[in-house]
Structure 1
Amino acid sequence: MTTSISISSEPVGSELAVAKIRHQANSSGGESAADAIRHEDEPAVIPARAGGWIRASELAAALTAIEPYLTDYEAMEKDELVRRTKIQLRHEISFIGNKEFADSKRGEVVFASPLELAEPKTAAGARIVSRSGSDLPIHLGRLCEAPLLKPEQEVMLFQRMNFLLHQAAVHRRLLNPKRPSRARLALIERFIALAHWHRDRIVEANLRLVFSIVKKFVNGNNPFDELLSDGIVALIRAVEKFDYDRGFRFSTYATQVVRRNAYRTVVLNQQERQKVMGGLQDMNLELTDEGSESSISETRWHELRRRLAEMLDELDRREKLIIRARFSLGPHRKVRTLQALADRLGISKERVRQLESRAMEKLRLMASDVCLAELES
């Protein structure tokens, strides 16, 4: 005898519905695993109970945009469903919560008002780049084509993004690897994709802010492309962490985040250059500090780094590790002590010192054979 699992009449977005569904699932002890999967796996059941708001006209454009990228769970084998379920359970869904999201009717309210986003303007983007006064490619104007958001549009986008992630988190709590659900996995993926669509609209509307901030940090040692890509990543993180309910404009918060990130990038690049210069000086390469800010171009700087990397590759595995750790090169952000390296390699502190001396001697011999004449011009 089997016991069917009925979906509560409460909308799935409410906490009460979550509790009811979980209780029914736990109380169906006489049900076989195959029956459980079949009952919870009906494609039309869960989406129909996701709430009428998911079919709102305000989501039509977003649904059309994300549809080609959604996973086809219907054709997926059970083992793959189990694996996908476990992966989904390992990753928390982060969002800015709001007590109003627990309201079973909140979805209809959130998607009731029209968003009315304006179309991108190509001419506006090109005009912003031309007025920047910087020698930058005109195609970068595409980053500035999206019109700025009105305050009410900004609030609506943040509210919808976080509400969709909240809905995904509600369904994620109901996942069970022993009884994987195609419909629920598909619904979670759909909610997350819709949330990302709304996030991307916020990012697009604020890209010109990133552009205006990072161009002030550009110089020979800090290329625009690197600063811009880091700035966009910082902007995305700012969107995900911004609490729209506090009443502040997002641009105020994002300006501080992007500016702080650009400054950190410049400082880290400067520290990396100083470390490499110190390492070259320790190898008795005659590099002066005269005019240190402009004496070496970025091309020559990359050539120095390339040749240093080639010399390090000539060392054996332990020697390379010791040199990189002792001079904080590559992935090593801190200078490691002899004792720390001894503990890691399982040898004595004195042996680490000997290996370091041997490696330095090898590098000095290799450096004496390297022609650096073109780097001094």
Structure 2
Amino acid sequence: MVDLYFKPEEAEAYGFSENAGGFSRENERRFFLTKDRIRADISVLEEGMEDANGDAQSISNRIEQLRRREVRIRNYFLKSNMRLVRALSARFSEKFPSVDIRDIFSSGQEKLLESWDKFDIVEHNDIKFSTYYGRSLYNAVYRLSQRRDLISLDDEVTEDGLSRHEFIKDPYFEDPSSQVSDKDTGYWIERHLGSLNSRESYIIRRRYGLYRRKGGCREKVSTLENVGKIVKLTKERVRQVELRALEKIRGRAEVEGSNEGFIS
């Protein structure tokens, strides 16, 4: 392994600037080739850990050093592309007015980090990173706009005509068991839990009486407060995660055309 890596402090010498509005194709390529080289070296070191004997600690230290180096390079690259995030957020906000620009910008930051990890300079040799990232963010915002249309806080969710907003705020309606009293609805929600991350899935299972003990028996429906104590979140934060998870489930079901039985 050759210890020749691009260092962020060398940026100005290569003409990089966070105010430059992006990098040239050559300089951009340098970032990603460096990322790939660091990760390849880490992989080689990790494979040699088992046969390292007394050198295991030194190898571990070297791996940690390389990881810190990639983080420094990554952070510089991401910071230098924040202008791109802001520009695309403003553009997509005009195209998708139903989506709050703050949500678009938040997605923009997440997709920037995700694109750094996934962008392969060899595989995507014919496009610039900004193009790859722009497509990724566009798709994310498009999905957000679809979900906003599919599930709204102003939609009626009870026979009395209460909106989801009122349903959540009113402590009398905090227990969502009435939504899943029908076995078909509970089954429908459970079969779509795979579209959620682990925390969202856990909260939905607890909130909708779908959580199973080791013996297979289901737990009773948990309140927002009780779930919050378990997952170390505030009651309001649990509510937000729950709503977001329901949006994900509804969006996945619409794509699959299997939304029969969902909360309407």
Residue 53 (1) aligns with residue 4 (2): yes
In the alignment, the residues of structure 2 paired with residue 177 and residue 312 of structure 1 have an alpha-carbon distance, to the nearest angstrom, of 60
Aligned residues: 197
Counterpart secondary structure, 1:244: coil
Residue 205 (1) aligns with residue 80 (2): yes
Q: Deviations over 1:315-335 (max 9, x none)?
A: 7xxx37836964959x9679x
Q: Deviations over 1:281-300 (max 9, x none)?
A: x332267xxxxxxxxxxxxx
**What is the CA distance between 1:184 and its match in structure 2?**
1.2
Residue 187 (1) aligns with residue 49 (2): no
Q: Could you tell me which of 10, 16, 37 is aligned with 1:163?
A: 37
In the alignment, the residues of structure 2 paired with residue 188 and residue 284 of structure 1 have an alpha-carbon distance, to the nearest angstrom, of 60
Q: Could you tell me which of 2, 26, 31 is aligned with 1:152?
A: 26
Match of 1:103 in 2: none
Counterpart secondary structure, 1:190: helix
Counterpart secondary structure, 1:53: coil
How do 1:200-349 and structure 2 match up within 5 A?
200-218=75-93, 222-245=99-122, 246-273=125-152, 277-279=155-157, 282-285=158-161, 303-304=165-166, 306-307=168-169, 310-314=171-175, 319=177, 322=180, 326=186
Residues 217, 266 of structure 1: 8 Å contact kept: no
Residues 214, 228 of structure 1: 8 Å contact kept: yes
Instruction: Specify the code of the residue in structure 1 equivalent to 2:103.
Output: E
How do 1:114-133 and structure 2 match up within 5 A?
116-120=14-18
For the structure 1 residues 117 and 229, does the alpha-carbon distance in structure 2 shift closer, same or farther, using more than 3 Å as the test?
A: farther
Residues 7, 73 of structure 2: 8 Å contact kept: no
**What is the CA distance between 1:277 and its match in structure 2?**
2.0
For the structure 1 residues 207 and 179, does the alpha-carbon distance in structure 2 shift closer, same or farther, using more than 3 Å as the test?
A: same
Q: Deviations over 1:235-293 (max 9, x none)?
A: 2212222221223211221111111111112222333327x7242xx332267xxxxxx
For the structure 1 residues 61 and 208, does the alpha-carbon distance in structure 2 shift closer, same or farther, using more than 3 Å as the test?
A: closer
Q: Deviations over 1:30-61 (max 9, x none)?
A: xxxxxxxxxxxxxxxxxxxxx4436xxx5383
For the structure 1 residues 305 and 208, does the alpha-carbon distance in structure 2 shift closer, same or farther, using more than 3 Å as the test?
A: farther
Residues 146, 204 of structure 1: 8 Å contact kept: no
For the structure 1 residues 286 and 168, does the alpha-carbon distance in structure 2 shift closer, same or farther, using more than 3 Å as the test?
A: closer
- Structure 1: tracts of 5 or more residues without a match: 1-12, 14-50, 63-112, 121-144, 288-300, 335-340, 348-354, 357-377
Larger radius of gyration: 1
Q: CA RMSD in A?
A: 4.3
**What is the CA distance between 1:212 and its match in structure 2?**
2.3
Instruction: Specify the code of the residue in structure 1 equivalent to 2:159.
Output: M
Match of 1:93 in 2: none
Match of 1:35 in 2: none
Instruction: Specify the code of the residue in structure 2 equivalent to 1:238.
Output: S
Residues 92, 138 of structure 2: 8 Å contact kept: no
- Structure 2: tracts of 5 or more residues without a match: 197-208, 222-264
Percent identical among aligned pairs is: 14
For the structure 1 residues 192 and 323, does the alpha-carbon distance in structure 2 shift closer, same or farther, using more than 3 Å as the test?
A: farther
Residues 171, 184 of structure 1: 8 Å contact kept: yes
For the structure 1 residues 209 and 177, does the alpha-carbon distance in structure 2 shift closer, same or farther, using more than 3 Å as the test?
A: same
**What is the CA distance between 1:226 and its match in structure 2?**
2.0
